[in-house]
Structure 1
Amino acid sequence: MAFKKAERTQLYLRCALFGPSGSGKTMTALLMAKGIADKMGVPFAVIDTEARSASKYSDRIPFDVDDLANKTVDTYIAAMNEAIKAGYKVLVIDSLSHAWRELTDEVDRIAQNSVSKNTFSPWAKVNPKQKRFIDAILNFPGHIIATMRSNTEWVICEGKNGKSSPEKVGLKPEQGKGIEYEFDLLMEMDQNHQATVTKDRTGKFQDETITKPGEAFGVALYDWLSSGTVVPVPEAKPAKPVKAKAGDPKAAPSGKPPAEQPMAGSVKERGKGIIQEIGILITAAAESGQAYFTETEKEEARGIIHTITLDEAGIGDLEALKSFLNDELAKRKTTNMPQTAATPAATKAA
């Protein structure tokens, strides 16, 4: 490892649009994608989870579409893999919110079937699935424009004529906590089809309000993204939709049983190191000596670890569990509320 002069290289766009129903997320995403695709001279594709809403604009904007009937993290990842195989370099995902809904529904289901009814253990179990989903988006070898629904509410606003009228406004995106960190460009849409740029790594549009951003905006983004130094791009490897479990015949290549596969010692050591770090997290205590995690939560975390195989996929699951526990510990330290056996372990994640 050595330091070298930093330089900006050509990048793939990771853009997310969020806003209430009717704010124009789908049309904006399609127009931006068309601007980029036309500039590149390639077609673009859409993963549609919104009851074929994108196809309503196909008479004006040509694109290929995969309408997801079963809206799960694994079907999203499978669709992205198909886009990779087909060679698409511009992809619209409309929207990401259904994947998050699958996870929250799964957490609720697990929690209701548990004795404690808390959501600590369920979130620790589903967090690796969210991590695979985000990794698939970040590793896609092309430009991605994604939409997200947002929680909405009606507020009373004063119009141009001085009269008050109700207006629908968006709140936070319906996706995982911290999702905004994964994108280069984050745009909040309103009912007037205006986009406020709340995050911008290009440095060109931060805090600007753009009325009906479309093809020209997509072209402007592409020009900036393609102006850096060209770097070799490794061959894309489709993400794994489902992690095979130990003992499952699918876990081994055809004609080779699982027992014959070599296990790198370094992988095992990495796994053991992460497990030790998790142990430190779950046994943390306040200055008063009161533990931040209950004994039940500690056992739940250990139980999850016992289900994880120490291979490359398992390392990812352990890292996701460690990240979840680290965030939970930080939250409890901030609120200065160590857990007790009588206190619910964790509230539902935002």
Structure 2
Amino acid sequence: MSDSRSFISRLFGAAPASTTPAPTAHRSAGEPPQWWVDRDDVPHARTWMSWPSRRSVWGRRLPGVQQDIALIARTVARFEPVVMCAPDDYSVREARALCGPAVTVTEEIPTDDLWMRDTAPVFRRDGRGRLDAVGLNFNGWGNKQTHRDDAEVARGIAEHLRLPFSYAEFTGEGGSVETDGDGTVMATESSLVNKNRNRGWSRDEVEEAVLDVYGADKMIWVPGIKGRDITDDHIDVTSRFVAPGVVLVQLPPADRNDAWARDAREQFDILSRATDARGRRLRVIRVDGPDEVRSRDSEFVDSYLNFHVVNGGVITAQFGDRAKDEAARRTLAECFPGREVVQLDVDRLMAGGGGIHCSTMQEPLP
């Protein structure tokens, strides 16, 4: 990987990225942060994605997952530029053939898997129109999956863009933290307060490190579920900020009482009682999950809320439950007025434990 990083630096004239911890947001009460992470719905320069290429990860499911990733990339490209990272010449040709000319495919930032939300840097801005990038020390979701190349994606993207780069003090993933861009973040304890990421850390220590990176003042924790999926229950499947003080939460059908259903109801209850960094009681909007889905895979993610906001649009999933699909579409349209809501059948991707938000990362305009 060192040869790859040197190549990128020579090609784009980027200085070697810093390996020091990310600048913190410590400040006096009432003082605005020096750097902060915005909500997903700010104007974007582009969306970053990663091409699935490893049969060691996907096995016989790989062609179908590639079709779904290509569909997402082509759809996002209707609204904003897309850069697709691929690990080698063969994968580049494969991705270009399936994604079409509207998607830029590059092998300059090699990857192991497709989950760009978790491997890309977190982009931050300051009040003077500058961006920087912070790596969250991706470790394969607690060393559950090979991550040799994916561990370097955050740095590679920052060097490609010639942005200042640093590492967070904590280990996590982009999908593990939701921010309202106005001082409040939320996350599951199961994902971040976990020895497979932050061994020996207390919840307070993790919280301080997350707030420092995100330029936030308040963390809202929900318990989550450890060890039942590869992410240890990322919050971006169930609960999402759509505006300061406004949260969407997806709830399961009333007859479901599995661990995920109980987790969703607990998130709804906690967030319904929570206040944000500005003292506002959160407005929690309920989204009902589908009654039926087309997949029987035990890892299937039936989430409408794993959506990706783009310039002028919202890209989300549909599951063949016409009533619930349409209700979710209407709710998203109301939450993001003026944006086109596009629903995709990406069942093969979602049978792999993640969805549209998990496979994308927005780069905001400075």
Q: TM-score, normalised by structure 2?
A: 0.25
Q: TM-score, normalised by structure 1?
A: 0.26
Q: Highest relative contact order (Cα 8 Å, sep 6+), 1 or 2? A: 1
Bigger radius of gyration: 1
Q: Which has the higher helix share?
A: 1
